[in-house]
Amino acid sequence: MTTELLSYSLIPLLSALAIPFLGRKNRKITEILANVTLLAGLANLAYMIFHPMNRNSGYAVFSFDGLTMSMLFTIYLVAICCVFFASVSGMVKSEKNSFYPLVMISVSAMSSMVLAKDFFTLYIFMEALAVTSFALIASEEGTLGIEGAIKYLLLTFPASALIIIGISLMLLAGGSLRFDIMSQSFSTAHFAALAFITLGFAIKAGLFPFHFWTPDAYQGAPAAVSAYLAGVVTKISGMYALVKICMAVRLFGENAHAISSSLLLAGVITLVFASIAALTQKDMKRMLAFSSISQMGYIAAGAATLNPIGILGAILHIFNHATFKTVLFLNSASIEKSVGTTDMRKMGGLEKNMPFTSWTSIIALFSTAGVPPLSGFWSKLLIIISLWITGFKFAAVVALIFSIVTLAYFMTMQKKVFFGKPKEELKEAKEASPSMLAPAVLMSLIIVFSGIFFPYVFDFLEKTL
């Protein structure tokens, strides 16, 4: 029970509980407390990652490996960027004494999720995470947020019931709900349990045809929140568990073929479907949402190959997706602030006015489309290679073709928003303040450097998995 790692989930929780009391008088304290907590966590994590000596003590309850560490790092990184952006942009219109605690609780729940060692723990924290995200989406006035939140709640609820059914099948087959029990004793009941649990998390991850809530939730949410949701929240609540299951499934290979191949099929359909749907979107946030769905397709396909390279690629792609999608959503928020809309038909020629926003967007979208040597290229490459060598050659070709489609729709977006002739009414648009740009710039640097120094990143993960 006592473990240092638990602090990653306990400290944000305590901070969340403390914020309403400390911040009652002065609202600034709320923001500072939230930022400091997350920054401290991030610094601690960075230290842990670069000093491998500390990592080898025994931990009883929570699992601890490269996957956990990289996921924790992703969570804290995206959270600090979004919270910092929210506090400096002044775009949070809801009450701060409930907004920041909600973010803190969701960070805590996500950390617990990635530290969890059994399915039921995963389930509880996933629900806690979901509850906070409903409130975050609906935290502003207006109908869109409520619509997104209600659709998110109702459309993903069957997933919870399916996961519980899966868990009861595991209970039936021996009573242990831990991930690693799968490798020791495997029976048909375990197989059925996994089928249900995979289905539940596929709904939570928004794979086709369960993706309908995703665009609505992202579009309806306030600007900083949609970056946070798209960057980590929905990835951890759905995709992380799928990757974890695929790692467990790998241990009994042939038997679980049906599960993994249907997941792979869903992944490939998702990436095709969502890329095409993104082509004609008119709202910037909605287009980004569809792009996010299609990247989920890549991750699912990669993980479902059950090949070490594919799983590694999937984990890396979760991390990369968190970086580039956060940049894009934060930039859309900056644009919303200076232009007043996210409708792309009303934009054009913002390049002159907002050069930093434009260039960080280009880096992020190149990374999404997989242009070398940015980080997105490597993870996509790993996924495609793994698809090819495990015999899904057609899927590999499709994945390759649709990364070109990705590039196509993002170039359309870039052209509509930043290039071309400036519109009269947008002449006065101003670049975002330096502090608002800081998160996007930081993330872009991470994209570039983790791309260039990719061999080191690969080494780190390969050793620890």
Partner 1 sequence: MTYNLFIYIIIAAAAILAVTAGKMLTSAIMLAVASIALSLLLFNFNAPWAAVFELSVCAGLITVLFISAVSLVKKEDESLKESRGKFLLLPFLALAAFITFSVILPPWFETLSGYAKYPAGEFKVGEIIWNLRSIDLLGQVTILAAAVFVVKSVFGKRSEQ
Partner 2 sequence: MTTNLIAVGLPLFSALLLLLISEKTKYLKELLSIGVLLTSLIAAGMGLILSMKGVQTSLNLEWLGSLSSFSLKADMLSSFLLAAVSMFSAAVSLYSFSMEKKGSSKWFYFNVLMTQALAAGAVLSDSLITMLFFWEGMLVFLYTFIALSADSKETKNTALKAFLINAVTDLLMIIGVLITGALAGSFNMSAISGSKLTLTGWATAGYVLMLIGAVAKAGAFPFHTWIPDAALNSSASFMSYVPAAIDKLLGIYFLARISLYLYQLDSFMQIVLMTLGAVTIIVAVMMAFVQQDYKRLLSYHAVSQTGYMILGIGTLNPIGIAGGLFHMINHATYKSCLFMTAGSVERQTGTNDIEKLGGLFWKMPVTAVCFIIAAAAISGIAPLNGFFSKELVYKGSLETGYVWFFFAAEIGSFLTLASFLKLGHSVFFGKLKPEFENVKESPFSVLFPMVIFSAICLAFGFGAYWPIKNLIEPSLAGIGIVSSHELAGFHPDYLFAFSLAVILLALGNHILGFNLAGKRAHKASDHIHHAPILSEIYDMAEKKFFDLYELSMKFMNYFSRLLFKSDRFFDKITDNMPSGFFGYTAEKISAAHSGSYSLYMSLSLIGALIYLFLAGGLK
Partner 3 sequence: MTSTFSMDWLFAAIIFFIGAYCMAVSRNLIKQLIGLEIISKAALIALISAGALSGNTNLAQALIITVILVEAVIVATGLALLVKAYKVNGAIDIKKLNNMRG
Nearest residue to 229 (alpha-carbon basis) of 96, 78, 89, 437: 78
Residue 343, strand partner residues? 283
**Which H or E run includes 409?**
helix 393-417
- Number of Cβ within 10 Å of residue 338's Cβ equals 17
Min dist CB 411 to partner 2, Å, is: 13
- CA R_g for the chain: 21
Can residue 239 be called a binding residue for partner 2 (CB under 8 A)?
no
Can residue 1 be called a binding residue for partner 1 (CB under 8 A)?
yes
Min dist CB 112 to partner 2, Å, is: 27
311 token code pair: 């799983």
Interacting residues with partner 3 (CB under 8 A): 120, 124, 127, 130-131, 134-135, 138, 141-144, 146-151, 153-154, 157-158, 160-161, 164-165, 167-169, 171-175, 215-216, 219-220, 280-283, 286
* Residues 277/219, Cβ–Cβ less than 8 Å: no
Min dist CB 169 to partner 2, Å, is: 10
Please choose, out of 36-44, 104-112, 403-411, 443-451, the segment that lies near partner 1 by the rule CB under 8 A.
Answer: 104-112
By beta-carbon proximity to partner 3, the closer residue of 78 and 130 is: 130
Binders of partner 2 in range 382-421 (CB under 8 A): 405
Alpha helices in 177-307 (DSSP H): 181-184, 188-205, 213-220, 223-228, 234, 241-250, 257-279, 284-304
Can residue 160 be called a binding residue for partner 1 (CB under 8 A)?
no
Nearest residue to 111 (alpha-carbon basis) of 32, 13, 43, 34: 13
Min dist CB 263 to partner 2, Å, is: 8
457 token code pair: 């990143």
Residue 118, strand partner residues? 178
Give residues with Cβ within 8 angstroms of 51, minimum separation 6. none
Please choose, out of 13-21, 266-274, 293-301, 338-346, the segment that lies near partner 1 by the rule CB under 8 A.
Answer: 13-21
From the list partner 2, partner 3, partner 1, none, pick the one residue 167 interacts with, judged by a Cβ distance below 5 to 8 Å according to partner type: partner 3
Can residue 158 be called a binding residue for partner 2 (CB under 8 A)?
yes
Alpha helices in 59-142 (DSSP H): 66-89, 96-115, 119-137
From the list partner 1, partner 3, partner 2, none, pick the one residue 110 interacts with, judged by a Cβ distance below 5 to 8 Å according to partner type: none
Give the separation between CA 370 and CA 92, rounded to whole angstroms. Answer: 33
From the list partner 2, partner 1, partner 3, none, pick the one residue 109 interacts with, judged by a Cβ distance below 5 to 8 Å according to partner type: partner 1
Min dist CB 12 to partner 1, Å, is: 10
Number of residues in contact with partner 1 under rule CB under 8 A? 52
Angle at 295 between CA 294 and CA 299, to 5 degrees: 120
Can residue 134 be called a binding residue for partner 1 (CB under 8 A)?
yes
Cα four-point dihedral sign 135, 136, 139, 142: negative
Per CB under 8 A, the list member of 199, 221, 230, 300 interacting with partner 2 is 199
| Interaction site with partner 2 (CB under 8 A) | 151, 154-155, 158, 162, 192, 195-196, 198-199, 202-203, 208-210, 212-213, 215-216, 258-259, 261-262, 265-266, 273, 276-281, 405
